[in-house]
């Protein structure tokens, strides 16, 4: 009898957890695939135990459940945001499924146990897919951008591989001289490399290609598409970066919903034809802007400390990295300086 009580409690626990996840997936993310899969999982759990319904109901004794008092006196299940709520509920579902799986074996329901085991693995997959709905945040440290023109004969792909080996956590694909067809080929390859290595991948200029390859975000300049148009196309869970050259640009980008701003060119550079804005603008951003920002333009090993000292947490260097004799060593050195 007690074994059926454990089963009953855990079937309810699993199905309730799945229901919470299903509703978040449906109403918050409007994620059709995860919603359908979660619904299917809930129905499969219930259906498996339909023949045992009578035994399960007889064994139920919620009033005497000692866990109820323990739970109401504890704050271990506090969930501060939707992300915690989701991870907490997946944990709850997976633990409940594990208990069902084990107890089913000792009540002689080996086939059900195997089915539940499959559902547990199905749940891990859904969790992975659902986590794609979360927007990634701009990592601190070195922000890498491709620049084949400055790479001493190395290809964009080679540079990206070395940047990843050097420990970079965010890479932007920027290429001004190739055809769209060539760019798409490279972008797909880089997208895969970044995904395999848990590196955030941003596409410069091309909102359409960013959507096509499911990049983590897009970077747009002052003359590119407005942020609200980009957002409409790319969706709420992707990063939008916007270049800014003065406080007015920065304030507008914040109001428009940028996730981060580029601040620069700080120093004179041959990579971008634009007059430098100087460290003064960086100081203004540090004082007045609340969203993440990336300092960019003419930054080298020799001056990165000044940029860091003023308060830049994310710093972008193009020619200094792709043009380095050893890209990995360069990144490690830069990280050492700003750490």
Ligand X SMILES: Cc1ncsc1CCOP(=O)(O)O
Ligand Y SMILES: Cc1ncc(COP(=O)(O)OP(=O)(O)O)c(N)n1
- Catalytically annotated residues: 174, 243, 272
Q: Measured from the CB of residue 188, what is the shortest distance to ligand X in angstroms?
A: 22
Both structure tokens of 310: 């003023």
Going 20 to 21 to 23 to 27, the CA torsion angle's sign is positive
CB of 220 to Mg ion, least distance (A): 6
| Contact flag: residue 88 with ligand Y (CB under 6 A) | no
Report the residue count for the chain.
339
Strands (E) across 32-175 are located at 141-145, 170-173
Cis status, amide bond into 213, omega within 30 of 0: no
Per-residue binding string, ligand Y, 295-324, x by CB under 6 A, is: -x-------------------x--------
Pick one of ligand Y, ligand X, Mg ion, none as the site partner of residue 26 (Cβ within 5 to 8 A by kind).
Answer: none
Shortest spacing between CB 174 and ligand Y, in angstroms: 5
Partner whose footprint covers residue 294, from ligand X, ligand Y, Mg ion, none (CB < 5 to 8 Å by kind): ligand Y
Sketch the per residue contact string, 126 through 155, with ligand Y: x for CB under 6 A, - otherwise: -----------------x------------
Q: In whole angstroms, what is the distance from residue 52 CA to residue 186 CA?
A: 56
3-state secondary structure at position 168: coil
Interface stretch with ligand Y, choices 97-105, 117-125, 127-135, 218-226 (CB under 6 A): 218-226
Asked whether the beta carbons of 172 and 271 are under 8 A apart, the reply is no
Which residues make up each annotated binding site?
A: 172-176, 204-205, 224, 243, 269-272, 298, 318-319
Number of alpha helices (DSSP H) and beta strands (DSSP E) in the chain: 15, 8
> With binding defined as CB under 6 A, does residue 216 bind ligand Y?
no
Footprint on residues 204-243 left by Mg ion (CB under 5 A): 205, 221
Nearest alpha carbon to residue 136 among 189, 196, 201? 201
The minimum distance between CB 179 and ligand X, in angstroms, equals 20
User: Can residue 166 be called a binding residue for ligand Y (CB under 6 A)?
Assistant: no
Report d(CA 13, CA 77) in Å as an integer. Answer: 14
Q: Give dist(CA 41, CA 24) in Å, integer.
A: 15
Contact partner, 317, from ligand Y, Mg ion, ligand X, none, Cβ < 5-8 Å per class? ligand X
Which whole-number Å values give the CA distances from 194 to 125, 257, 259, in the listed order? Answer: 20, 25, 20
Report the binding-site residues for Mg(2+): 205, 224
Dist CA 38 CA 44 (whole Å)? 10
Reduced to 3 states (helix: H, G, I; strand: E, B; else coil), residue 317 is strand
Report the nearest approach of Mg ion to the CB of residue 147 (Å): 13
Distance CA 260, CA 174 (A): 17
94 contacts which partner out of ligand Y, ligand X, Mg ion, none, CB within 5 to 8 A by kind? none
| Interacting residue ranges for ligand X, rule: CB under 6 A | 264-265, 269, 271-272, 296-299, 317-320
Stretch that binds Mg ion, among 15-23, 39-47, 90-98, 198-206 (CB under 5 A): 198-206
Residues that bind ligand Y (CB under 6 A): 143, 172, 174, 204-205, 219, 221, 224, 241, 243, 262, 272, 294, 296, 316
């Amino acid at each position: 009898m007690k074994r059926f009580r454990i089963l009953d409690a855990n079937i309810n626990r699993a199905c309730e957890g799945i229901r919470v996840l299903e509703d978040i997936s449906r109403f918050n993310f409007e994620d059709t695939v995860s919603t359908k899969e979660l619904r299917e999982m809930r129905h499969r759990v219930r259906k498996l135990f339909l023949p045992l319904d009578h035994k399960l109901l007889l064994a139920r004794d919620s009033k005497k459940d000692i866990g109820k008092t323990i739970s109401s006196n504890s704050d271990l299940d506090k969930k501060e945001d939707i992300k915690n709520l989701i991870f907490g509920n997946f944990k709850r579902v997976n633990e409940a499924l594990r208990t069902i799986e084990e107890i089913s074996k000792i009540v002689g329901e080996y086939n059900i146990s195997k089915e539940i085991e499959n559902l547990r693995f199905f749940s891990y997959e859904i969790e992975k897919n659902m986590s794609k709905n979360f927007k990634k945040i701009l990592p601190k440290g070195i922000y890498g951008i491709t620049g084949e023109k400055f790479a001493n004969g190395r290809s964009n792909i080679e540079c990206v591989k070395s940047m990843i080996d050097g420990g970079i956590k965010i890479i932007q694909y920027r290429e001004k001289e190739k055809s769209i067809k060539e760019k798409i080929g490279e972008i797909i390859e880089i997208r895969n490399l970044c995904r395999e290595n848990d590196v955030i991948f941003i596409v410069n200029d091309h909102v359409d290609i960013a959507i096509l390859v499911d990049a983590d975000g897009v970077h747009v300049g002052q003359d590119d598409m407005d942020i609200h148009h980009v957002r409409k196309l790319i969706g709420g869970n992707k990063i939008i970066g916007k270049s800014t050259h003065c406080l007015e640009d920065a304030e507008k980008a914040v109001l428009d919903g940028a996730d981060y701003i580029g601040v620069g060119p700080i120093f004179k550079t041959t990579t971008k034809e634009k007059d430098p804005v100087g460290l003064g603008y960086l100081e203004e951003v540090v004082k007045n802007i609340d969203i993440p920002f990336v300092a960019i333009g003419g930054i080298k090993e020799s001056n990165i400390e000044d940029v860091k000292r003023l308060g830049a947490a994310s710093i972008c260097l193009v020619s200094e990295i792709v043009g380095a004799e050893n890209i990995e060593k360069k990144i490690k050195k830069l990280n050492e300086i700003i750490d």
